[in-house]
Structure 1
Amino acid sequence: MSELLNQLWTPELQAALTVVVVLLVVLYLLSIVWVVRDAYLRGSYWYVWAIVALVPFVGVVAYCLLRPPLLQIDRDEQELEIALKQRQLMQYGECANCGYPVESDYVLCPSCHQRLKNLCPVCNHALEPAWTVCPYCATPVSVASRGRRGTAAQGRQARPQQGAPAQRTR
């Protein structure tokens, strides 16, 4: 038996096995480095994953199964995109009456016809409710004319709405 083993255990086989073992050790060490680096980039506890990765093969497989899905930089970019979209949505307002999204220059809500802004009696530009003068033509806007234009518009829109429920009940 030992003669057979001596015949098989040639210097070439010994060199080949040494190369295979060295490659496996290098691969094992590189997998630990990869786990640590990847865990750090994903914002995870890299030192905990380094200890887990010390368990040969099982540690790396466990990390691959349990690692966070996004890199930290991708997560930050995603949060910035969400914040940007929220800011873009905030450029549009909401109707205080029905909650329908309205643009900043709308005078009436397209859904419920609620007056959102007043109109200048001279140039017909949209005015914010708190303004006392038109910034486009410098016409003073009195409280009475703001209220009168608002009630006139509300009266115009109140008539069709009063007739609409009567038609629905028939």
Structure 2
Amino acid sequence: MLIPIILLVLMVMLPIAIGIYVYRDAKNRSMNAALWTLVAIFAPGFIGLIIYLVVRSEHSALHCPQCSAPVQERFAVCPRCGVPLKDHCRKCDFPLEQDWSVCPNCGEPIPPEQRESMSVRAKTDTGIKKLLALVIIAPTLFCILLVVGVSAYSAGGVSQSVSATMSLDDPSLENQQIRSWIDGCDGAGEGIYVLKAVSKEGDAVQTQYLIYRNDGHYDVDASISMGGWLSKSRVTIRFRDGEEAQDYSLFYYECTGDKEIDIRIRQFNRSVKFRMETAEAIPLP
């Protein structure tokens, strides 16, 4: 049960993480954040994320330190508030870039302390590293868990099963425990009654069901369906209209496998209610 929950969390978490990163980064670059978020999330196979990372390089992530307006590297002053964005050469007043060591206009060396004081810098994008790590780790973990889950599911099964329609006159029903249970069912009124017993021997699990219906005779058959990650294995008992004179139905089902088998009862392609009791064993030959 734990494996499908983890897989579901991974499937939900990865698109959400991509969407959050793309939305924040696109908004920071004055791009259409909502549109790019939808593209990154819904485009198959991370294609949307790859396209966004390529396109975003054309949009600056720089902002004015005073009014936070988006600016470009070539701007000397902020077009919104007018604050200087670049330092100037102390000799010729030419706008300087942060990575220059000399002024390209007059050749004057730029002191190191002046280069460090230049005001506009892009924030270090650490989110992309975390996102790329998640994009790599999550699918890898998903595949590992999927293989483990499929292997565990494939290992299960039912080794043998026995089913039989019985009569109240059957000598095997002379057991006091079974007779007391049937008498109790008759005293409780008409309906469908189930007696269940589960026993283990080593790795084998035996599940027994005795189904008694005292509101008329019906033909009965059983089929078993193996469970998956989200459901248990179970046997389905189906009642169909019968033509025999007796006014009850009595059916026995037994199976042996590696896990307990649940029961479901249906009539006319619909599930019907029943009352179930448990016992340590159902003593039938």
TM-score > 0.5 by shorter chain: no
TM-score (norm 1): 0.37
TM-score (norm 2): 0.23
- Of Structure 1 and Structure 2, which has the larger fraction of its residues in strand? 2
- Of Structure 1 and Structure 2, which has the larger fraction of its residues in helix? 1
Q: Which has the higher contact order (CA 8 A, sep 6+)?
A: 2
